[in-house]
């Protein structure tokens, strides 16, 4: 049984502009099953419904339909128990300009009913763990984006929740801070927490997450480990360079080979081949071309990216949207 189980979760908004009332199905029936100790990624473009889903699971907005249990507590009937079990770190952050990181951490702990002395102890430990000790007594408005984001996360887990919801933890951070944040997220998991994060970075979903659900227009279009998702779609992509003069001929020779699912002749004397497994296909491609007297100048194997997955499921590229 998963630590987060969601069935048919839905939420729509009515927005009024001038005369017209439009209905937005922000989340249109989402099913999820997240296992304990996972880093689960929610990948989707702007407006896909990621934040809305998270806010519902964090007890902040009531769902229109659907059921969910988080750490064994029912989302509708046991909100207090859900709140005990979760930490929620909002997309926009939640630090106060004029407060210091230490004050924020102590307050957050005390709002969870932790005693003053214990709250102060935990704040000190959290500051050290998130490498914030140096800035602990400076107003949050003087922090860098990455430092401020780390305060947000430290606040979200100060009560040691079982499940952490992280809404776009790395949006707006430079590559170095992003890598730092990934380490923090992995540390949360190593401390026994289940992490449910949203992102619209392909690489983040791919590298950081154990399992990914791709959401678009309020519905989940694909779900699985990054590897299975990518493999499921199209195997591997092999690009072979043979030069302008031989491209046509190479295309003819390769078409119909049973280990190739797709053969496409491209400009510049290149061939794009969709194969089931790049490792075994490449030697066979080379041999076939060699037998036909065609020399290959370059061979490259691409693993399909999550963007290829998104593309096949929605017809759009995540990079463009």
Interface map 22-51 toward Mg ion (x if CB under 5 A): ----------------------------xx
Q: Measuring CA to CA, how many Å separate 115 from each of 159, 244, 301?
A: 11, 74, 57
Using CB under 6 A, pick the residue from 6, 50, 101, 213 that binds ligand ATP: 50
Using CB under 5 A, pick the residue from 12, 78, 91, 314 that binds Mg ion: 91
User: CB under 5 to 8 A by kind: which of Mg ion, ligand ATP, other proteins, none does 162 bind?
Assistant: none
Give the count of residues interacting with Mg ion (CB under 5 A): 3
- Contact call for residue 91 and ligand ATP (CB under 6 A): yes
SS3 call for 54: helix
Instruction: Please state, in angstroms and rounded to a whole number, the distance separating the CA atoms of residues 244 and 80.
Output: 68
Q: Is the separation of the CB atoms in 59 and 83 below 8 Å? A: yes
SS3 call for 158: coil
Contacts of 59 (CB under 8 A, 6+ apart): 75, 79, 82, 83, 86
Instruction: Please state, in angstroms and rounded to a whole number, the distance separating the CA atoms of residues 108 and 160.
Output: 12
- The least distance separating Mg ion from the CB of residue 66, rounded to whole angstroms, comes to 19
Q: Is the separation of the CB atoms in 61 and 27 below 8 Å? A: no
- Contact call for residue 171 and Mg ion (CB under 5 A): no
Number of H helices, E strands in the chain: 11, 14
Using CB under 8 A, pick the residue from 18, 92, 134, 175 that binds other proteins: 92
Among the listed ranges 47-55, 62-70, 101-109, 220-228, the one in contact with ligand ATP (CB under 6 A) is 47-55
User: How many CB atoms within 10 Å of residue 250?
Assistant: 25
Give the count of residues interacting with ligand ATP (CB under 6 A): 14
Distance from the Cα of residue 228 to its chain's centroid:
15
Instruction: Please state, in angstroms and rounded to a whole number, the distance separating the CA atoms of residues 320 and 219.
Output: 19
Give the count of residues interacting with other proteins (CB under 8 A): 28
Closer residue to Mg ion (CB): 51 or 69: 51
Among the listed ranges 8-16, 89-97, 129-137, 189-197, the one in contact with Mg ion (CB under 5 A) is 89-97
Q: Is the separation of the CB atoms in 259 and 280 below 8 Å? A: yes
Closer residue to Mg ion (CB): 51 or 305: 51
- Contact call for residue 21 and ligand ATP (CB under 6 A): no
Instruction: Give me the residues that bind ligand ATP (CB under 6 A), please.
Output: 13, 15, 24, 26, 44, 46-52, 91, 200
Instruction: Give me the residues that bind other proteins (CB under 8 A), please.
Output: 58-61, 80, 83-84, 86-88, 90, 92-99, 103, 107-108, 110-113, 155, 159
């Amino acid at each position: 049984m998963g630590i987060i189980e969601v069935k048919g979760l839905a939420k729509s908004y009515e927005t009024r502009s001038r005369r017209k009332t439009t209905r937005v199905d922000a989340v249109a029936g989402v099913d999820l099953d997240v296992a304990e100790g996972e880093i689960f990624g929610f990948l989707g473009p702007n407006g896909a419904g990621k934040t809305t889903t998270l806010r519902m699971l964090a007890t902040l907005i009531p769902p229109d339909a659907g059921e969910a249990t988080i750490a064994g507590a029912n989302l509708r009937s046991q909100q207090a128990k859900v709140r005990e079990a979760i930490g929620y770190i909002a997309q926009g952050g939640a630090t106060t300009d004029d407060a210091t990181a230490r004050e924020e951490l102590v307050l957050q702990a005390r709002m969870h009913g932790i005693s003053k002395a214990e709250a102060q102890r935990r704040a000190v430990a959290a500051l050290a763990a998130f490498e914030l000790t140096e800035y602990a007594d400076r107003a949050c408005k003087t922090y860098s984006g990455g430092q401020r984001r780390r305060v947000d996360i430290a606040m979200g887990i100060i009560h040691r929740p079982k499940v952490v919801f992280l809404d776009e933890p790395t949006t707006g951070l430079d590559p170095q801070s992003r890598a730092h944040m990934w380490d923090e997220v992995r540390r949360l998991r190593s401390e026994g927490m289940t992490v449910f994060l949203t992102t619209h970075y392909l690489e983040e979903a791919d590298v950081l997450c154990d399992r990914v659900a791709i959401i678009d227009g309020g519905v989940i279009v694909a779900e699985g480990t990054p590897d299975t998702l990518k493999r499921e779609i199209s195997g591997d992509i092999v690009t072979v360079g043979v030069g302008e003069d031989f491209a046509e001929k190479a295309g003819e020779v390769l078409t119909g080979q049973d280990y190739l699912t797709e053969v496409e002749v491209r400009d510049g004397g290149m061939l794009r081949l969709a194969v089931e497994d790049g490792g075994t296909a490449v030697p066979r491609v080379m041999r076939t071309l060699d037998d036909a007297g065609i020399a290959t100048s370059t061979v490259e194997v691409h693993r399909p990216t999550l963007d290829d997955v998104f593309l096949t499921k929605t017809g759009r590229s995540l990079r463009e949207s």
